[in-house]
């Protein structure tokens, strides 16, 4: 009887600790710290913040937190914050984002232990490579997609060309960057389910990528995925870097690699001063190159 009572009390104690959990740390930049009890310790990716803790954001620091309900929260201002007060800012939700938080943290651990095949993206110093999955996986759901490619030494301008399966030109973009964002729901693309994409150097058209096909998600899959995506969007209403990162995890886990690339790139662009977002984007590109 005493043993059963002790076991029950221990289980209740663990339950009360779990109920105190408020946030997990997903992104960290700077000398940020957590105070649990009387001591301050450096923030680590994946750390759990409990309601009784204090968190200190350093000058020029940044914290990307995910509440236990799944809602993201960014801290950009220097200062000390009571975790209970931060949790009070969060409206309760269904908590559908927890598995995508775990997905991101597992990828972060994979990158930090150097399991990602680095350097696999580039196939040569001068070869122009489109960072797109092969045709079997090159499906997309979103309207706005980022198309990215490797830089060619000395190239000043690139041309991105979109064509139908039969070679009919659909759209053409010139840029000095190594990426463009294109709305594939525009009128010129509406009747096309399969789109051929290629990139070449404007002043040297011989330097060009191999053509790559991208495909719209089938109507049946679109309905199924959109139902799950609506729950994700409800948890990530803002266009913050952290929200984009969580949506990227959703897309990647659902095999929508082109949409994932766009979301990872949006996260990196939203917070260029936080290296972890760009590192997550580059790690994603390396993962796709490694498995092709």
Q: Return left, alpha or beta for 43; rule: phi > 0 is left, psi -120 to 50 is alpha, else beta.
A: beta
Please report which confidence band the pLDDT of residue 60 belongs to, taking 50, 70 and 90 as the band edges. Answer: very high
- What pLDDT was estimated at residue 201? 96
| Same domain (yes/no): 175, 288 | yes
- Range(s) of the domain holding residue 292: 96-292
| Same domain (yes/no): 84, 104 | no
In the three-class reduction of DSSP (H, G, I as helix; E, B as strand; rest coil), residue 133 is classed as coil
**What number is the average pLDDT over the span 220-234?**
85
- What pLDDT was estimated at residue 12? 37
| Same domain (yes/no): 203, 278 | yes
| Same domain (yes/no): 117, 238 | yes
| Same domain (yes/no): 246, 158 | yes
| Same domain (yes/no): 139, 27 | no
| Same domain (yes/no): 62, 18 | yes
291, pLDDT greater than 70: no
Specify the higher pLDDT residue, 61 or 255: 61
| Same domain (yes/no): 212, 292 | yes
Q: Say how many Å lie between the first and final Cα of the chain, rounded.
A: 59
Taking a C-beta distance cutoff of 8 angstroms, is the pair 283, 111 a contact? yes
| Burial of 239 per CB tally in 10 Å (0-12, 13-18, 19+) | exposed
pTM recorded for the entire structure: 0.77
Count structural domains, the chain.
2
- What pLDDT was estimated at residue 92? 66
Domain termination site, one of 50, 71, 93: 93
CATH number at residue 173: 2.60.40.10
Choose among 155, 154, 107: nearest CA to 284: 107
Tell me how many degrees the CA angle 173-177-182 measures, rounded to the nearest 5: 40
Domain termination site, one of 78, 93, 108: 93
pLDDT digits (tens, 9 = 90+) for 89-144: 887 665 667 778 888 888 776 654 433 333 333 344 458 988 888 877 888 998 88
- What pLDDT was estimated at residue 6? 42
Domain termination site, one of 66, 93, 120: 93
């Amino acid at each position: 009887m005493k043993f059963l009572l002790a076991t029950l009390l221990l289980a209740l104690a663990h339950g009360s600790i779990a109920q105190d959990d408020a946030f997990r740390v997903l992104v960290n930049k700077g000398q940020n710290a957590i105070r649990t009890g009387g001591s301050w310790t450096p923030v680590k990716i994946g750390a759990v913040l409990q309601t009784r803790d204090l968190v200190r954001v350093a000058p020029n620091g940044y914290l990307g937190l995910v509440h236990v309900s799944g809602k993201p929260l960014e801290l950009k201002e220097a200062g000390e914050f009571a975790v209970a007060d931060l949790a009070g800012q969060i409206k309760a939700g269904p908590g559908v984002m927890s598995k995508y938080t775990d997905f991101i943290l597992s990828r972060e651990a994979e990158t930090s232990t150097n399991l990602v095949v680095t350097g696999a993206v580039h196939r040569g110093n001068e070869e122009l490579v489109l960072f797109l999955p092969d045709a079997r996986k090159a499906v997309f759901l979103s309207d706005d997609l980022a198309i990215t490619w490797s830089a060619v030494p000395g190239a000043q301008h690139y041309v991105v060309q979109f064509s139908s399966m039969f070679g009919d030109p659909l759209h053409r973009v010139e840029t000095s960057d190594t990426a463009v964002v294109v709305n594939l729901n525009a009128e010129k693309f509406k009747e096309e389910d399969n789109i051929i994409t290629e990139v070449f150097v404007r002043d040297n058209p011989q330097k060009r990528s191999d053509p790559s096909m991208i495909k719209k998600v089938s109507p049946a899959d679109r309905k199924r995925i959109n139902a799950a995506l609506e729950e994700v969007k409800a948890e990530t209403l803002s266009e913050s870097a952290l929200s984009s990162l969580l949506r990227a995890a959703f897309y990647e886990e659902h095999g929508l690699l082109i949409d994932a690339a766009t979301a990872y790139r949006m996260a990196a662009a939203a917070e260029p001063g936080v290296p972890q977002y760009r590192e997550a984007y580059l790690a994603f590109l390396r993962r796709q190159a490694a498995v092709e």
